[in-house]
Structures are given as structure tokens and as C-alpha cells.
């Protein structure tokens, strides 16, 4: 099964971008879904203090689990016992933990295509079977209850992401409720990736736990909290899986970084700073949504959340990886090839991250406009 795990091509784009940057080239990094801002001030100040005072070690912060429970009460109206939060080294281990805690080797797990590249590859690495559901503009590139209901036989689980990567589309409350209902009726366990919650430009982001209390929920401090390099996330598990999930957590990962847990707790105190980042993303989104059609790039998924534009480039290429390499060499703009997210249709798409500064977004638009004119 491991031979079926495909490379993450955006990593190759990024490696070349950094090599060019080391040579003195001006590079605009729009290839990864990571904020260009650093951790908020309270997190950094706390980290400095902890480094001076605490030798640290393997540890899971009770205070952080309690703060997460308060967050779910305030944000979603949910009362969650703190012991249901398993703190992880980012969302990626949380996905591994969720899959191993609930499913057996060989389990069939449904997911949207296009979707985050690591869903498919993590499933394969764990000996599970990805069941990709083709989603397009007719469903806003999102899963729907009817698509899940049409699967025969029913899969053991389904991964839902709202806002989604690479498209930024959001499933509304009615859509999530319908997905929860069909999954209950068919005995399908839901894993909800909510890593982009907090990054919305209109529609409210609902947790699937509002509609299905037995869903497993993944989240992290990487996106909204601007702490990607701190490698801190969580898995929220139903009560019957707490012991099993913690057994896997201890054996596979020991604990999340102690320093990051201290900093993550403090980050909750800087919501004004974090929300100001979201306003930058909002303005960058508007710039791109307004500018791209004038360059002939008019077919894009509606970016309602996260910080991505998923754009159809079929008028320019049938090989998105080659196109991204060409754009990087010619303009210094690093983009992600759509084939990472959709091995069938992604050859004609690219993903543009707008989690950069406003000045960088303006510069990228200018460079891309001139390149397209020359091309």
C-alpha cells in the first residue's frame, strides 16, 4: 500500500522557490496554506518566559484542554468535557489518530475530490482505502448528503472539510445537518476537518458536532492562530473513543510540544490581533477575485473561507505541475498544482494561497498580469 502514496508536489515547488530565493530572486510564496504572519504577541511572550523558567518534558496541558472546551461553548454552543481533547503535534497527527482510533485496516473512507492531498495519502499509508467522490462547480466542489447517499456500498467513514482545502468553500448548517443524517442512517462515521474555522468571509462556519455528537473533529493552531511552525493541534473524540485515542497518542506521538502548549493557551488572549489577520486575508481575497477575471482566469471556486483561490487554468495548460514550475521560474510566484488535490481533474487547476501580505498580493497580481500578456 505504501507504493500508492504520491508525492506532495507543492513541496517540490516550494523547494525550488527557496533555492531561487537563496540565489537572490524575489519570491512570493503562495504555494502553501500557511500564514505569512507569526504567532501572536502573547504566545511569543509566554514562550520566552517558559523557556527561562520551565525545563519542560512530555506533558499535556490541562489548562489548554479546559480552554478548548470553553472555546467550543462560546463558538458553537457545545458543552464538551475537557478530557475529550487529545492534543497533537498539529492536525496531521490528529488525522492519523482519528483514523486509527475508529477504523480497521482495509476500511473504506470517502472524501471529496478535489481535497487535501494528505487525506488520500494518509489513508493509503495506513492500509485504508480512499473512496473519492468527484465534486465540481455544481456542488461548489463540496460533498453533499445526496453524493454520500449514492455510495454503494456505504463506506465506513467520510472526511468532511468546511471550509475546504483547496477551494475555500463552506457547507452551510442545512448541508451539514443533511450529511449528519444520512451518515447516521447508513452507519458512516464522520471525521470533520475544521482547521480553517475562524477564516470566513461571510458564511458562518458550523462544527459538525452541532449536528452529529459522535463525529471526530480535527483542528489546530496553524491557520487562524498563525502558529503553523509550532506544530500544535487537537483531536476531539466522542466519549467511547477517549481511552483508545489516548493509547494511540501516547504510543505513537508521546505528546505535543510543551512549549507550544503554553504558547497556544496564551494565543487565545490575542483575538484582536488574529482577527486583524483575517481582515488582511479578506482584502487579499477581494483583490484576487476582482483581478483574475481580467486576466482570463474567471473559473474559480467560490472562496468563502480559508485563504485559497482554486482556479481553472485549462485555457493555458493540461499539466498544472509544469505550469506552476513555469510560473515560478518566470515570475517568482510559487503556486500549488491542482493535481495534488485532484489526481483526475487537477491537471487543469492551480491553488493560490492569499495568506500573504497585501503588498505581496498586489505584487503577485502585477507579475502574473504581465506574464500572461507576454505568454
Residue 1 confidence (pLDDT): 41
Q: Is residue 72 part of a domain?
A: yes
Q: How many domains does the chain have?
A: 2
Residue 76 confidence (pLDDT): 97
Range of the domain at 113: 57-269
301-322 per-position pLDDT tens digit: 889 999 999 999 999 999 999 9
CATH number of the domain at 127, please. Answer: 3.40.640.10
Is there a single domain that holds both residue 170 and residue 68? Answer: yes
Is there a single domain that holds both residue 97 and residue 15? Answer: no
Q: Is residue 46 part of a domain?
A: no
Is there a single domain that holds both residue 183 and residue 85? Answer: yes
User: Cell numbers at residue 75, please?
Assistant: 463558538
Is there a single domain that holds both residue 320 and residue 292? Answer: yes
CATH number of the domain at 344, please. Answer: 3.90.1150.10
What's the rounded mean pLDDT across residues 67-81?
Answer: 97
Is there a single domain that holds both residue 108 and residue 192? Answer: yes
Is there a single domain that holds both residue 243 and residue 290? Answer: no
199-238 per-position pLDDT tens digit: 999 889 999 999 999 999 999 999 999 999 999 999 999 9
320-348 per-position pLDDT tens digit: 999 999 999 999 999 999 999 999 999 99
Residue 7 confidence (pLDDT): 82
Is there a single domain that holds both residue 366 and residue 229? Answer: no
Name the domain boundary from 247, 269, 291.
Answer: 269
Is there a single domain that holds both residue 157 and residue 184? Answer: yes
CA-to-CA distance for 101 and 244, rounded, in angstroms? Answer: 6
Name the domain boundary from 253, 269, 285.
Answer: 269
Amino acid at each position: 500500500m505504501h507504493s500508492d502514496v504520491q508525492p506532495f508536489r507543492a513541496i517540490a515547488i516550494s523547494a525550488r522557490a527557496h533555492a531561487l530565493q537563496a540565489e537572490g530572486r524575489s519570491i512570493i510564496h503562495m504555494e502553501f496554506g500557511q500564514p505569512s504572519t507569526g504567532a501572536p504577541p502573547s504566545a511569543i511572550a509566554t514562550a520566552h518566559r517558559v523557556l527561562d523558567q520551565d525545563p519542560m518534558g512530555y506533558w499535556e496541558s490541562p489548562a489548554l484542554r479546559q480552554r478548548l472546551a470553553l472555546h467550543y461553548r462560546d463558538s458553537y454552543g457545545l458543552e464538551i468535557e475537557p478530557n475529550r481533547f487529545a492534543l497533537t503535534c498539529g492536525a496531521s497527527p490528529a488525522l492519523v489518530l482519528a483514523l486509527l482510533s475508529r477504523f480497521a485496516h482495509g476500511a473504506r473512507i470517502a472524501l471529496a475530490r478535489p481535497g487535501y492531498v494528505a487525506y488520500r495519502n494518509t489513508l493509503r499509508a495506513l492500509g485504508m482505502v480512499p473512496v473519492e467522490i468527484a465534486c465540481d462547480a455544481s456542488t461548489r466542489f463540496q460533498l453533499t448528503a445526496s453524493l454520500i447517499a449514492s455510495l454503494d456500498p456505504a463506506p465506513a467513514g467520510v472526511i468532511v472539510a468546511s471550509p475546504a482545502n483547496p477551494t475555500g468553500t463552506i457547507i452551510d448548517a442545512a448541508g451539514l445537518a443533511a450529511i449528519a443524517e444520512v451518515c447516521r442512517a447508513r452507519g458512516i462515521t464522520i471525521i470533520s476537518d475544521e482547521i480553517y474555522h475562524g477564516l470566513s468571509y461571510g458564511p458562518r462556519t458550523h462544527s459538525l458536532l452541532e449536528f452529529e455528537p459522535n463525529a471526530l473533529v480535527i483542528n489546530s493552531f496553524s491557520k487562524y492562530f498563525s502558529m503553523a511552525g509550532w506544530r500544535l493541534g487537537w483531536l476531539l473524540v466522542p466519549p467511547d473513543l477517549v481511552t483508545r485515542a489516548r493509547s494511540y497518542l501516547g504510543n505513537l506521538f508521546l505528546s505535543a510540544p510543551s512549549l507550544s502548549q503554553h504558547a497556544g493557551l496564551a494565543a487565545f488572549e490575542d483575538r484582536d490581533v488574529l482577527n486583524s489577520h483575517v481582515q488582511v486575508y479578506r482584502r487579499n481575497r477581494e483583490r484576487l477575485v476582482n483581478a483574475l477575471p481580467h486576466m482570463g482566469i474567471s473559473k474559480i471556486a467560490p472562496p468563502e473561507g480559508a485563504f485559497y483561490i482554486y482556479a481553472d487554468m485549462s485555457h493555458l495548460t493540461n499539466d498544472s505541475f509544469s505550469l506552476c514550475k513555469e510560473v515560478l521560474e518566470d515570475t517568482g510566484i510559487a503556486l500549488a498544482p491542482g493535481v495534488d488535490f485532484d489526481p483526475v481533474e487537477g491537471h487543469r487547476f492551480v491553488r493560490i494561497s492569499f495568506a500573504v501580505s497585501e503588498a505581496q498580493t498586489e505584487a503577485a497580481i502585477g507579475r502574473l498580469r504581465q506574464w500572461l500578456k507576454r505568454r
